Amino acid sequence: MPAEQPNIILFFTDQHRLSGLGCYGDTPCRTPNLDRLAAEGVRFETAYTACPVCSPTRATIMTGRHVHNHGVLCNCNDLPTPVRELPDGPHLLSRRLEQAGYRCGHTGKWHLSGKNAPTFGLEFDPSHPRTRGFEWPRFPGLDEYREREGLEAKLTEVSPHFNSAILDGPVEASLPYWLAEQTIHMIDRFAEEDDCPFFIWHCEPGPHARYTAPRDLYETYRDVEIPPWPNYEWDAVGINGPHQVKIHPAQRELTWDEWAELVRRYYARCTNIDAQLGRIVAHLQERGLRKNTVVIFTSDHGDTLGSHGGLVDKGWHHFEETHRVGLVISAPQGWGPEGARPGSVFTEWASLLDIYPTILDVAGGHYEPQAVDGLSLGPLLRGESPQWRDTAFVEFWGVNGLATTMITCRHGDLKYGWNCSNRDELYDLAEDPYETRNLCDAPEYAHRLREMRECTADFMDRTGHSARGMFRSCRR
């Protein structure tokens, strides 16, 4: 078990699919620092987001609650969400850690405020890291930083089809490097000002679009062959479903070579992010802090990036490309004599709901287990045999000003997807790992479909989902 009240860094990326993480399998993407963390720590093979949208998942990190229980249903600046600003309160992760004696810092993307969204005359308590228990970096903005350091950078080779470009300038002028500088600066400040343990939530806004990378990094991928996704030929246009919202508008004209070029830029951004993770960990080592610092890496959700017949972004489907996320935890002091060994891989269902109770477990912080929807991963890490979930659920309520209700239920090899206004989906990932055959109408799967719907109904009843009555009436 880590030392009592260790420092904790949550390195949190945005829209980071598993193919952008080297430790998750065969991929051209290079992430040697994360791979090293996984080899020294533990990795969760089947971790799922709470919602494949930025703000709802961040609110889950801060509350440990299902999306339908904390109310941030979509991005805070979107009309469909009833909660535009993350409400303050002693239940927030940062407030719980404050109560446990931690100094909390936040760097990077917040996305828990509806700034500039229409308010319809209502008043909201503005949500900002500084008003929700975090200290904010005392650091210059990106342009000021570049000027101070004598760094020049401009975007070139802007893609005509995608939100993507090459950064002509050194890696030191890139956004990921600048954010890592902020976190390093905050580590130094916390270490020098007092003896309190610290928690830093490092929120890297990439590899989410705009897909950019410094030219030197991009050049290392320019000639790398990117094979088509195994489900690239899936008929996204011909198959009716909510996924059609996210078909690239020029998909009929785009070639795989054009998609492959986007993937190269995406991977180059992932490698840059990984390099900054390495810088932060190396700085902890240099300061003598690494042995007592738990580093957690994960992401809010993945990215389709042309998979399933040319889908873009996230949301409006149930596919693994956006729903599964990487989760790596590294604690140099280990997890006790019976705990997980370095390089362990857990196959239990994990969820981003578990980050809140896990951090508080590691920190010795107080929370009421019955008041959160996640489970601490601590018992698994310590080698205990806790009663564990056998199902993972993901919610989606809409994004970009559009609303819906969708629930993904993953149990065993099956995945069931409820689409409130369209036909349901059922996939057998053992037989069809890339989710290309909807089995909802297959007679041989009729009983399994009933079981998965019953499992979903039980979840909705148990957690107080507002659409549980409608689900039972229209699906059962």
Phi, then psi, of 262 in degrees rounded to 5: -65, -40
Interatomic CA distance for residues 470 and 407, integer angstroms: 13
Give the sheet arrangement for strand 414-419, strand by strand.
391-399, 402-411, 414-419, 425-428
Tokens of 321: 């490309």
The neighbouring-strand residues paired with 135 are 105
- pLDDT per residue, tens digit, the chain (476 aa), is 455 899 999 999 999 999 999 999 999 999 999 999 999 999 999 999 999 999 999 999 999 999 999 999 999 888 778 888 999 999 999 999 999 999 999 999 998 887 766 665 666 788 899 999 999 888 888 999 999 999 999 999 999 999 999 999 999 999 999 999 999 999 999 999 988 999 999 999 999 999 999 999 999 999 999 999 999 999 999 999 999 999 999 999 999 999 999 999 999 999 999 999 999 999 999 999 999 999 999 999 999 999 999 999 999 999 999 999 999 999 988 898 889 999 999 999 999 999 999 999 999 999 999 999 999 999 999 999 999 999 999 999 999 889 999 999 999 999 999 999 999 999 999 999 999 999 999 999 999 999 999 999 999 999 999 999 999 988 86
Residues 6+ apart with CB under 8 A from 363: 5, 6, 8, 97, 100, 102, 197, 199
Cβ neighbours around 313 below 10 Å, total? 20
pTM for this predicted structure: 0.96
Of residues 405, 435, 410, the one with CA closest to residue 422: 405
Interatomic CA distance for residues 404 and 243, integer angstroms: 12
